[in-house]
């Protein structure tokens, strides 16, 4: 996995500290994207031509940009939540017309749908987040390849119980199936557990408590030494990368733009 961006919506280029985070997006095996905006273009690998698919978590502009998907990525297949499929189709049709390029196939996926892309399976899960469209269900994703099961959770205030049950990490279910990796948003820093955004976003404290519960109940069985990665960090609510590296409690680690991680399953 390559992190193309690890910032929340308040990032807009280099800040006064000389720090830069692009908007949150990841690239899987150099061929599948989760979210994409123009800010991540320079983080694409050299020689990148087109993805097999792009999965969007929701329609906020710091995650979703049809013009960049068509113009930069030459994407052929787009997946969005089925609750806003018609709006997404219209967005991509308009972008296609403006750019003079073919419109990709736009597919709506309901919560719980498994999509197979080669040897990777991606399952759509409900997030705890809201857009201006009250009917839109935002998504987080389970990524599976062989014995690897990575939960990619942004944007969301914690992990909703329905998502936990679909993944198999609800502690109330005796025959659950653990994840082997966790990437979770931490829009707010360690001192912001009582921030008003906690209803729709997670803090470092949220991720730490979630991690402790998953580890103590055997729902997270990451290989030894593999961190839980933080992403979607707000510029105004976090220190620099160096400060995060020095202060985050184990096993949390702040991802950064361009970071590449190989996730492994348990032996």
| Omega within 30 of 0 (cis) for the link into 104 | no
CA nearest to 6, candidates 194, 266, 261: 261
DSSP state of 66: H
The dihedral of CA 234, 235, 236, 242: what is its sign? positive
* Tens-place pLDDT, residues 91-137: 999 999 999 999 999 999 999 999 999 999 999 999 999 999 999 99
Determine the Cα–Cα distance for residues 102 and 93; give it in Å rounded to an integer.
Answer: 9
Under 8 Å between Cβ of 171 and 213 = yes
Q: Is the pTM of this model over 0.85?
A: yes
List, for residues 45-72, the tens digit of each pLDDT value. 999 989 999 999 999 999 999 999 999 9
Q: What is the pLDDT of residues 199-208, one digit of tens each?
A: 999 999 999 9
Nearest CA-CA partner of 185 in 3, 53, 13: 3
What tokens appear for 129 in the block? 């987040």
pLDDT, position 267: 54
């Amino acid at each position: 996995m390559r992190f193309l961006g690890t910032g929340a919506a308040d990032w807009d280029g280099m800040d006064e500290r000389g720090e830069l985070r692009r908007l949150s997006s990841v690239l899987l095996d150099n061929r599948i994207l989760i979210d994409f905006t123009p800010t991540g273009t320079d983080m694409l690998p050299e020689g990148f031509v087109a993805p097999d698919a792009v999965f969007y978590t929701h329609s906020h502009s710091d995650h979703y940009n049809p013009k960049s998907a068509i113009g930069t990525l030459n994407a052929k297949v787009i997946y969005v939540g089925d609750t806003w499929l018609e709006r997404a189709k219209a967005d991509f049709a308009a972008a296609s017309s403006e750019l003079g390029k073919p419109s990709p196939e736009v597919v709506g996926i309901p919560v719980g749908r498994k999509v197979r892309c080669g040897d990777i399976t991606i399952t759509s899960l409900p997030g705890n987040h809201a857009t201006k469209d009250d009917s839109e269900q935002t998504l987080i994703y389970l990524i599976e390849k062989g014995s690897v099961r990575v939960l990619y959770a942004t944007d969301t205030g914690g992990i909703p119980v329905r998502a936990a049950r679909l993944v198999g990490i609800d502690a109330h279910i005796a025959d659950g199936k653990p994840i082997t990796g966790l990437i979770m948003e931490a829009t707010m820093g360690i001192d912001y557990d009582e921030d008003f955004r906690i209803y729709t976003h997670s803090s470092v404290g949220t991720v730490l408590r979630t991690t402790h519960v998953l580890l103590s109940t055997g729902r997270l069985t990451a290989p030894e030494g593999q961190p839980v990665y933080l992403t979607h960090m707000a510029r105004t609510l976090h220190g620099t990368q160096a400060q995060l590296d020095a202060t985050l409690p184990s096993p949390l680690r702040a991802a950064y733009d361009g970071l590449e991680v190989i996730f492994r399953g348990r032996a």
